[in-house]
Each structure stands twice: as structure tokens, then as C-alpha cells.
């Protein structure tokens, strides 16, 4: 029985799904049911919930997310470099080194901002 | 087997793409977009491009969709929706018409003009290092330009985010 | 293995949905969704054509790499812009963002 | 043209076919050893191990009554949680929460597929194994953010946002810290990476990478000293606050599954995988190392204080990223000096 890798991944995930999903349904059916305004309130350590939950928290860290998106891509490109590193000559390697050196400038700018604002 | 998988993936992609645009709440739209992009990754795998599929999942679903979701949560208004969306009115119909026309034209034109033999060659297992070799040789200029693009993106986006933060001197929320 | 035209039909449908969104939606984030859909349609086409050329070539993969990278950058800057617009105007409805109009 | 009718298969044939499928190596690998049962039992065992080890650190005894040394405690907990009521807050999205708990489990279990638990004892021998694991890990923040959003509770949302920022901040150093290994071996296939360290484990030449990777894994797992997303005095249970009953059980098990598989990944990448003296079979070596890594994570939880959120984020981007880059350049130097030969495959 020769299955290719991704069918195996799919089968494995289906097995996990077929175990966990009935469990959730089972818990949904077996648990007690009931509605009450106090019991349905979000948990706030015993106090009456106040205000809206979905507020704009933590927006001062937004630049971290931007940096993540950017360096995600960089890391992926560096992976391809790592794969060929020892099988290509130096004259080809230095393209990636130039790529890295170009990235130093934005990183330095980001660190500069980081130092100035205590966060980026 | 591959046909069935392809049909299922296509259905998933198309359906979730439509739902992404038509979902009532923006955050559900983002979820459907994520599912659609996962479907695209599945099509990549079907075409033998596993590495690209992983790239797609990690960058699109892992990073871009998270950024979109977080932005949606930031522009979320406490009561109701952000924008009163246009219903399926005149503009919606015009959009559907234009879109249908363009899609049909492109499909017919591509199929007619395709110079490639439509029969697929035998399945091939790509040696991954080949990809890096290609990046380092034929596409090296593009790589350097991509580095510049990344630099410009970082500086531009961080500057925008900084301007945005100076509106609130203490940098805290609300 | 399905013929190449089935991939072309799939991507044309995605392109159509994307254009529909671009024309008829007013929310800036939904416009971004549409752009992502169109870019992804193009990416599938690149991979499919690379796979179906004889012998299969890798150049399509490399183009898709750059395409995904550029799309990620576009999303980063675009969302930062949307956030700034929201801060300045209190809305991300692209038809209300018309302060530059004379 | 009329096809000739096939005779119906007899019961015996069906049973034989079913038996042959069930006893086939692929099926056993998926269901039993490196696959499903291994993951679930390993995660359940880790919940017990964590309680025992943390109890010893705090001079307590820990679970005691269920089975010998309380080893059946996870089962008792599971049964208890299964019959509990699921309470979702008003205006919370109950369906989304349950689907997210399910998705969390699917994601947490997925990295087991390319991890080799022995020579050839791997579900799928993928060429892109390492990057597949990273792609799966990078999906966690999305699901956790949705749980926080769907809960409509301040604790959950704040915990989810903290988790999001911390995971995305530590993902980049984590990816870059394994670049040295990829350079030395020239492959992303985890089985081949294990094979490459038969002589010297990668923890020796890649010590900087190991430190960075371990730290990043602690942050990805939301363990102390990086357990801000579920800082008990501040946020009750973080993004899991409003998960109740079976949904909580599934989410909790998913986090332990992640701990188990991340320990297994560290073992495969840096600690030589299944290699060891032949007195014990290979999978035993692998599991020993994995549980050793997992208990060191637990002991760290018992000994370190929690860091502050801005320090956490900034140190990921400055110190950890710089160390990861330093590791890359050290590896480049090692290869250019011609010392990388013994890890080539």
C-alpha cells in the first residue's frame, strides 16, 4: 500500500478529527444545560462584568506584527539559501550575503525606534 | 483520486472566497479567506510544489491573515459593524457583471493561447536545493531588489505606525 | 491528472471573484481580501504552467516565491495605511476617504 | 460491452482484507506508534509528569490516589471534564470556540507526521519535514486569536493578544536558529537530519542555535518564564478562561501535545534523535530524551519568575535575533573552514 506523504498527513488528521469531534459532541450532549444571566456572564473573578470585552488592547505593539510579516518572508528565503549553502560556490553565496546586508538597515531603523519609544 | 481532490479543493477555494467577501462580519470574512488560502496551498501540493505550499501557509495564513485579523480587531467599533456595507444593489450587480466578463475572457484567452501541451508530464520529484541554486544564479538581481523592497516596507510601515501612535502621547490604548 | 484548462478555469473564477470584490465593496479591508485572491489566482497559474511545461521547470516556483513575498509586503503596508486612515477619519469606508478631493 | 459480474466477496475474504489493512505497517504507524495513540498517551502522561515534577520542586507529593503514584490521574480528569457542562458567555460564539478547540488539537497533533521516532519509524518521510512543522506551528496564533475574540471576555481576549504577540515574536528567532543545521546537512528531511548526527550531536556545534531554539520553544509553548498569556494572578487562565468542559479538555490536551511534540522536535534536531548505545531500542532512546527535555521545561517552570511583556517582546527582537544571526555566521565560518564534513549526508 504505497500512499504518498500528503495522503498520510490527511489520514492522520482525519483520525484525530474522528476522535476529537465525537468527544466534543459527547460533552455537548452529556453536560448539564441551563441559562441564567449570572452564569452566562463572562468570568471576571467574581465581579460584575463591565464594559465591552472586544476593546482595542495592546495596539502599541502593532509594529511587532509588521516586523513579523516581513521577517517571516526573509526567513523563508534564507531557508532556501541554507539548503544550497555548501553545494554552491562563494561567488553565488554572496548574493544572499548582500541580501542580508541590505536587511541590516531596516533592522537598525527598527531598533532605533525601539530604543526611542521603549517599543517599536 | 487526484481529480476528486482537485474538484473538492476548487469548490472549497471558490466557496470560501465568495464567503470571505460576503460574510456579514469582517472577522468571519478573514476566517474564510484563511480557509481559501489553505485551499490554494492544497492545490500547490497537488501540483507537486510542496515547498511553495509550505511557504504559502506560513506566510499567508500564518502571518498575513493574523495581521488582517488584528487590524480588524483594531478598527472594530463597539456597537455593530464598521462600515455600512453596500447591499446587493446596482453596484453589486455591476461588479458581478464586470467580474464575470473578465473571468470568461481570461479563461477563454488563456486556454486558446496556451502554447504548452495540455498533457501533464510524468510526476517529478524536485530536488529542493535546485530552488536555492536558481535563486542564487538566474534570479540574483531579483533577490537583491526584494531586499530593497523589504527594507522600504519596514521603514514605511514602521513610520506609518509611528505617526499613528503619536496621536496618543502615552502610547496606551483607548 | 486533470488537464491544464481546469486550473485555468479555477483561477479565472478566483480572478472574477476578486474583481467583483474590488468593484462592489466599500470596506478597505475587503478590498485587500480581493487583491489577495487575485494574487493567489496568478500564483496557481504560475505553478500549474510550470508543472505542465515539458519538461517541468522550476522558474514558476521562483516567481511565486517573489509574488508571495511582494504580496506580504503589500499587506503589511496596506494595513498600516488602513489603520492610519481609520485613526484620522474614524472610518475605513473607501468612499468616505475623499479628503483630497478638491 | 457487458462486464462480467464479480462474485461477491465472502465474509472470510472481507475479514482477511480488514486484518491485512489493520496490521499493515502504515496503518499501525498512523494509529499506534509514532502516530495517534503515542501522541495522545504522551500528552496525557506529560500532564501527570508535570504535576509530579512541579510537586517535587515545591516539596509536595502531587497526584497520589489514582493508580500507582497517581498515574491514572489524567484519565480521571478526562472523565470528569467530559461530563461537565459547557458554559459559554453571553454573545460568545460557542460554535467558533468549539471548532477552534478542535482546530487546536488538529494543529497540535500534526507535527508528529515527519518526526522520526526510530530508524524508519516515521509516518511520512517528507522532504519538507522541518518546514512543514514550522508552517503548522505558525498557524497557532490565528486559532488562539479567534478563541480570544470569540469568548467575548476580557481575560480571554487579552490573553489571546499576548499569546499572539509572543508567538509571532519568537517564531523568527526559532526559524533562524535551525538555519545552521540546514546549512550543515543540506536537507529539510528530519530523518536525514537525525542520521547526520550519528557521530556528533548538533547540540555541540550548534550550541547557540540550541539555546535560541529552546528559548523560543518555551515562548511558543507559553511556559514560564514566558507564560504571560496565562499568567494566573492577572488573567486567570489566559485565552482558555472561557473554554469549559470538553472544550477545555481538548484545548488543554492540545497544549500538552504541543509540548510533547516540541520536545520531540528538539530531540530530533539537536539531541541526536534515536541515536544511542544499542542496549536499548531506538524508540526508547527517543522517548527518554523527549521526556527529559519535557521535564526540563517543567523544572524551568518551577524555578523562574515571569518576565514583563514589553521586555519579552523586545528581547526576542534584539537579543535572541542577534544570537540567531551570530549562530548563522559561526556556521558559515565552520563550513568555510572545512569542518562541516562529518555532518554532510
Task: Please tell me the distance from the alpha carbon of residue B61 to that of residue C67, in angstroms, as a whole number.
Answer: 15
Q: Which of B46, B143, B164, B166 to mutate to test the interface with A (most CBs of A within 10 A)?
A: B143
Quickly count: other Cβ atoms within 10 Å of residue B136's Cβ: 23
Q: In this complex, do D36 and A28 lie within 8 Å of one another by their Cβ atoms?
A: no
Residue-wise DSSP of A43-102: PSTTSPP-S-SS----GGGHHHHHHHHHHHHHHHHHHHHHHHGGGS-HHHHHHHHHHHHH
Rounded to 5°, angle at Cα D308 from D304 and D313: 110
D42 half-sphere exposure, CB direction, 13 A CA radius: 32
Contact C75 A66 (CB under 8 A): no
- Backbone torsions φ then ψ of C27, nearest 5 degrees: -85, 125
Does B80 have pLDDT greater than 80?
Answer: no
Q: Does C90 touch chain B (CB under 8 A)?
A: no
Residue A120: per-residue pLDDT? 45
A99 touches C at CB < 8 Å: no
Contact D250 A72 (CB under 8 A): no
Q: Chunked in runs of 10, what are the mean pLDDT values of chain D (345 residues)? A: 66 84 78 84 89 87 79 84 78 83 91 88 86 92 89 83 87 90 87 86 87 90 78 73 82 90 91 83 88 90 80 81 88 81 73
Sign of CA dihedral A95, A100, A106, A112: negative
Q: Could you give the number of structural domains in chain B?
A: 2
Nearest chain A Cα to D129, which residue?
A5
Return phi, psi of residue B25, to 5°.
-100, 145
CB contact under 8 A, B136 and A96: yes
Going by the DSSP 8-state scheme, the letter that residue C27 receives in this structure is B
CB contact (8 A) between residue C73 and residue A70: yes
Kindly state the percentage of chain B with pLDDT values over 70: 75
Which H helix or E strand runs over B19? helix B2-22
**Min distance D77 CA to chain B CA atoms (Å):** 33
Which pLDDT score is estimated for B117? Answer: 58
Q: Tell me the pLDDT tens digit for each residue of B42-54.
A: 999 888 888 889 9
Whether B97 is covered by a domain: the verdict is: no
Three cell numbers at A97? 550575503
Residue A52 near chain C (CB below 8 Å) = no
Which residue in D95, D103, D127 has the most chain B C-beta atoms within 10 A of its own C-beta, making it the best mutation to test that interface? D127
- Rg of chain B over all Cα atoms, to the nearest angstrom: 21
**Residue B133 domain flag:** yes
Q: How far is A29 from chain B (nearest CA, A)?
A: 26
- Residues of D15-31 as b/e, b for ≥16 C-beta within 10 angstroms? eeeeeeeeeeebbebbe
Domain that holds residue C80: 4-89
Mean pLDDT of chain C: 83
- Write down which chains contact chain D via at least 3 CB pairs under 8 A: A, B
Question: How far is D102 from chain A, CA to nearest CA, in Å?
Answer: 7
Asked if the Cβ–Cβ distance from C81 to B86 is below 8 Å, we say: no
Which DSSP letter does residue D7 get? P
HEC per residue, C39-77: HHHHHHHHHHHHHHCCCCCCHHHHHHHHHHHHHHHHHHH
Write down which chains contact chain A via at least 3 CB pairs under 8 A: B, C, D
Which of D131, D183, D311 is the best mutation test for A, with the most CBs of A within 10 A?
D183
Q: Which of residues 17-46 of C touch A (CB under 8 A)?
A: none
Where residue B93 falls (left for φ over 0; alpha for ψ -120 to 50; beta otherwise) is alpha
A34 Cβ contact partners less than 8 Å away, ≥ 6 residues apart: D85
Cis peptide upstream of residue D225 (ω within 30 degrees of 0): yes
Chain B nearest C-alpha distance from C55 (Å): 7
> CB–CB of A70 and C76 under 8 A?
yes
Q: Which residues of C touch A64 (CB under 8 A)?
A: none
Asked if D128's CB is within 8 angstroms of B58's CB, the reply is no
Task: Report chain A residues whose CB lies below 8 A from the CB of D159.
Answer: none
Q: Do C4 and C49 touch, CB atoms closer than 8 A? A: yes
Q: Map residue C101 onto helix, strand or coil.
A: coil
- Domains in chain C, number: 1
Cβ of residue B151 closer than 8 Å to a chain A Cβ: yes
- Report yes or no: D41 and D70 within 8 Å, Cβ to Cβ: no
Residues of chain B found within 8 Å of residue C43, distances taken between Cβ atoms: 40, 44, 56
Residues D179 and D291: beta-carbon distance below 8 Å: no
Q: Is residue C97 part of a domain?
A: no
CB B53 within 8 A of CB B26: no
Distance CA B72, CA B23 (A): 14
| Chains with 3 or more CB pairs under 8 A to chain C | A, B
Phi, psi at residue C93, to the nearest 5°? Answer: -75, 115
Closest CA of chain B from A10, distance in Å: 11
Test the C interface: residue of A69, A72, A81, A99 with most C CBs within 10 Å: A69
Residue C98 lies in a domain: no
Beta strands in D132-248 (DSSP E): none
Please judge whether A8 and D102 are an interchain contact, meaning their C-beta atoms are less than 8 angstroms apart. no
Which residue in the set D136, D142, D171 is minimally distant from B65, CB to CB? D142
What is the number of other CB atoms lying within 10 angstroms of the CB of residue B98? 16
Chain B contacts in chain A segment 38-97 (CB below 8 A) = 52, 54-60, 62-63, 65-70, 72-74, 76-77, 80-85, 87-88, 92-93, 95-96
How far is Cα D181 from Cα D192, in angstroms, rounded to an integer? 11
ipTM metric = 0.88
Supply the range of the domain harboring residue B47: 1-76
Q: Cα separation of D45 and D63, whole Å?
A: 12
What is residue C42's predicted lDDT score, i.e. its pLDDT? 92
Quick check: do C and D touch, 3+ CB pairs under 8 A? no
The pTM assigned to this predicted structure is 0.89
Chain B neighbors of A115, CB-CB under 8 A: none
Chain B interface disruption, residue of A5, A56, A59, most B CBs within 10 A: A59
Identify which of D127, D142, D188 has the shortest CB distance to residue B61.
D142
Contact criterion met (CB < 8 Å) for D135 and B66:
no
> Helix A62-84 to helix A90-117 angle, to the nearest 10 degrees?
160
Which of residues 7 through 36 in chain C touch B, CB cutoff 8 A?
7-10, 12-27, 29-30, 32-34, 36
- Nearest to residue D135, comparing CAs of C32, B69, B38? B38
Q: Which of A72, A71, A59 is nearest to A119 (CA)?
A: A59
Question: Could you report the per-residue pLDDT of A17-36, keeping only the tens digit for each?
Answer: 998 888 888 888 877 677 77
Closest C-alpha among D45, D6, D261, A59 to residue C79 = A59
In this structure, what are the phi and psi dihedrals at residue D5, rounded to the nearest 5 degrees? Answer: -70, 130
The pLDDT tens digits for B84-128 are 555 556 666 777 777 788 778 877 777 777 665 556 666 666 677
Size of interface B-D (CB pairs under 8 A): 54
Nearest by Cα to B61 from D176, D138, A74: D138
User: Does B93 contact chain A (CB < 8 Å)?
Assistant: no
What are the chain B neighbours of A117 within 8 Å (beta carbons)? Answer: 162, 165, 171
Distance CA A3, CA A9 (A): 10
Are A86 and D183 contacting, i.e. CB atoms less than 8 angstroms apart? yes
For cell 482477511, name the residue. Answer: D16
- Angle between helix axes D73-82 and D36-57 (nearest 10 degrees) is 110
Report how far Cα B79 is from the mean position of its chain's Cα atoms.
29
Q: Which chains touch B (3 or more CB pairs under 8 A)?
A: A, C, D
Higher-confidence residue of A75 and C97: namely A75
The shortest C-alpha distance from B62 to chain D (Å) reads 5
Instruction: Look at residue B143 and tell me whether its pLDDT is greater than 90.
Output: no
Task: Tell me if C12 is assigned to some domain.
Answer: yes
Note whether residue C61 is domain-resident.
yes
Domain ranges of chain D: 89-343
Give chain B positions within 8 Å (CB) of D187: 128
Q: What are phi and psi of D116, to 5 degrees?
A: -85, 120
The 3-state DSSP class for residue C93 equals strand
Interval C35-56 mean pLDDT: 86
Q: For residue C67, give the CATH number of its domain.
A: 1.10.287.3510
Contacts of D219 (CB under 8 A, 6+ apart): D166, D167, D169, D170, D226, D312, D316
CA angle B28, D228, A73 (to 5 degrees): 55
Report yes or no on B84 lying in a domain.
no
Q: Which residues of D touch B51 (CB under 8 A)?
A: 128, 131
What pLDDT does B174 receive? 38
Q: Is the dihedral of CA B163, B165, B166, B168 positive or negative?
A: positive
Amino acid at each position: 500500500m504505497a500512499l504518498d506523504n500528503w495522503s498520510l498527513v490527511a489520514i492522520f488528521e482525519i483520525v484525530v478529527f474522528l476522535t476529537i469531534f465525537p468527544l466534543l459532541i459527547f460533552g455537548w450532549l452529556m453536560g448539564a444545560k441551563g441559562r441564567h444571566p449570572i452564569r452566562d456572564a463572562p468570568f471576571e473573578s467574581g465581579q460584575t462584568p463591565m464594559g465591552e470585552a472586544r476593546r482595542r488592547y495592546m495596539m502599541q505593539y502593532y509594529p511587532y506584527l509588521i516586523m513579523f510579516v516581513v521577517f517571516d518572508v526573509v526567513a523563508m528565503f534564507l531557508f532556501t539559501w541554507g539548503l544550497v549553502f555548501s553545494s554552491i560556490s562563494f561567488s553565488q553565496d554572496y548574493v544572499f550575503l548582500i541580501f542580508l546586508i541590505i536587511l541590516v538597515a531596516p533592522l537598525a531603523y527598527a531598533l532605533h525606534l525601539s530604543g526611542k519609544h521603549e517599543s517599536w | 483520486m487526484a481529480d476528486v481532490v482537485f474538484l473538492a479543493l476548487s469548490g472549497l477555494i471558490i466557496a470560501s472566497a465568495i464567503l470571505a467577501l460576503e460574510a456579514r462580519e469582517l472577522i468571519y470574512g478573514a476566517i474564510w479567506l484563511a480557509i481559501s488560502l489553505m485551499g490554494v496551498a492544497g492545490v500547490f501540493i497537488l501540483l507537486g510544489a510542496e515547498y511553495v505550499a509550505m511557504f504559502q501557509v506560513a506566510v499567508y495564513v500564518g502571518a498575513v491573515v493574523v495581521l488582517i485579523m488584528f487590524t480588524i480587531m483594531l478598527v472594530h467599533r463597539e456597537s455593530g459593524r464598521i462600515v455600512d456595507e453596500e447591499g446587493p444593489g446596482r453596484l453589486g450587480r455591476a461588479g458581478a457583471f464586470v467580474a464575470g466578463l473578465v473571468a470568461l475572457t481570461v479563461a477563454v484567452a488563456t486556454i486558446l493561447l496556451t502554447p504548452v501541451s495540455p498533457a501533464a508530464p510524468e510526476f517529478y520529484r524536485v530536488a529542493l536545493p535546485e530552488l536555492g541554486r536558481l535563486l542564487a544564479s538566474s534570479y540574483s538581481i531579483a533577490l537583491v531588489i526584494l531586499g530593497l523592497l523589504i527594507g522600504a516596507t519596514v521603514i514605511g510601515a514602521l513610520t506609518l505606525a509611528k505617526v499613528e501612535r503619536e496621536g496618543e502621547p502615552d502610547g496606551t490604548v483607548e | 491528472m486533470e488537464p491544464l484548462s481546469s486550473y485555468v478555469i479555477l483561477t479565472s473564477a478566483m480572478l472574477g471573484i476578486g474583481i467583483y470584490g474590488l468593484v462592489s465593496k466599500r470596506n478597505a479591508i475587503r478590498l485587500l481580501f480581493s487583491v489577495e485572491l487575485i494574487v493567489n489566482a496568478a500564483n496557481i497559474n504560475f505553478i500549474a504552467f510550470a508543472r505542465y511545461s515539458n519538461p517541468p521547470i522550476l522558474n514558476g516556483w521562483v516567481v511565486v516565491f517573489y509574488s508571495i513575498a511582494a504580496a506580504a509586503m503589500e499587506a503589511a503596508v496596506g494595513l498600516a495605511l488602513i489603520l492610519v486612515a481609520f485613526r484620522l477619519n474614524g472610518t475605513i469606508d473607501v468612499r468616505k476617504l475623499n479628503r483630497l478631493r478638491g | 460491452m457487458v462486464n462480467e459480474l464479480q462474485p461477491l466477496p465472502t465474509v472470510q475474504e472481507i475479514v482477511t482484507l480488514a486484518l491485512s489493512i489493520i496490521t499493515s505497517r502504515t496503518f499501525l504507524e498512523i494509529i499506534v506508534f509514532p502516530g495517534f495513540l503515542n501522541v495522545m498517551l504522551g500528552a496525557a502522561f506529560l500532564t501527570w509528569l508535570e504535576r509530579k515534577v512541579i510537586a517535587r520542586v515545591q516539596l509536595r507529593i502531587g497526584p497520589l490516589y489514582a493508580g500507582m503514584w497517581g498515574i491514572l490521574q489524567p484519565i480521571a480528569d478526562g472523565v470528569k471534564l467530559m461530563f461537565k457542562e459547557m458554559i459559554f458567555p453571553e454573545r460568545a460564539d460557542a460554535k467558533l470556540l468549539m471548532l477552534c478547540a478542535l482546530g487546536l488539537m488538529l494543529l497540535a497533533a500534526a507535527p508528529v507526521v515527519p518526526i522520526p521516532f526510530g530508524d524508519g519509524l516515521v509516518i511520512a518521510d517528507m522532504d519538507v519535514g522541518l518546514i512543514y512543522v514550522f508552517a503548522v506551528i505558525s498557524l497557532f496564533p490565528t486559532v488562539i486569536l479567534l478563541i480570544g475574540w470569540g469568548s467575548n471576555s476580557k481575560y480571554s481576549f487579552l490573553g489571546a493578544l499576548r499569546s499572539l504577540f509572543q508567538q509571532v515574536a519568537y517564531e523568527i528567532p526559532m526559524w533562524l536558529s535551525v538555519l545552521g543545521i540546514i546549512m550543515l546537512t543540506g536537507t529539510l528531511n528530519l530523518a536525514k537530519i537525525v542520521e547526520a548526527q550519528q557521530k556528533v550531536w548538533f547540540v555541540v556545534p550548534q550550541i547557540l542555535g540550541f539555546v535560541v531554539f529552546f528559548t523560543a520553544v518555551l515562548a511558543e509553548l507559553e511556559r514560564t518564564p514566558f507564560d504571560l498569556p496565562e499568567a494566573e494572578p492577572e488573567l486567570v487562565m489566559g485565552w482558555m478562561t472561557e473554554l469549559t468542559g470538553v472544550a477545555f479538555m481538548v484545548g488543554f490536551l492540545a497544549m500538552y501535545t504541543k509540548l510533547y511534540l516540541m520536545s520531540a522536535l528538539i530531540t530530533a534536531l539537536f539531541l541526536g534523535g534515536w541515536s544511542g548505545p544499542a542496549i536499548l531500542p531506538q524508540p526508547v532512546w527517543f522517548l527518554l530524551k523527549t521526556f527529559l527535555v519535557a521535564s526540563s521545561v517543567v523544572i524551568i517552570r518551577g524555578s523562574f519568575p515571569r518576565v514583563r511583556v514589553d521586555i519579552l517582546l523586545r528581547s526576542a527582537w534584539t537579543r535572541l535575533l542577534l544570537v540567531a544571526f551570530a549562530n548563522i555566521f559561526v556556521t558559515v565560518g565552520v563550513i568555510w573552514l572545512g569542518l562541516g564534513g562529518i555532518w554532510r549526508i
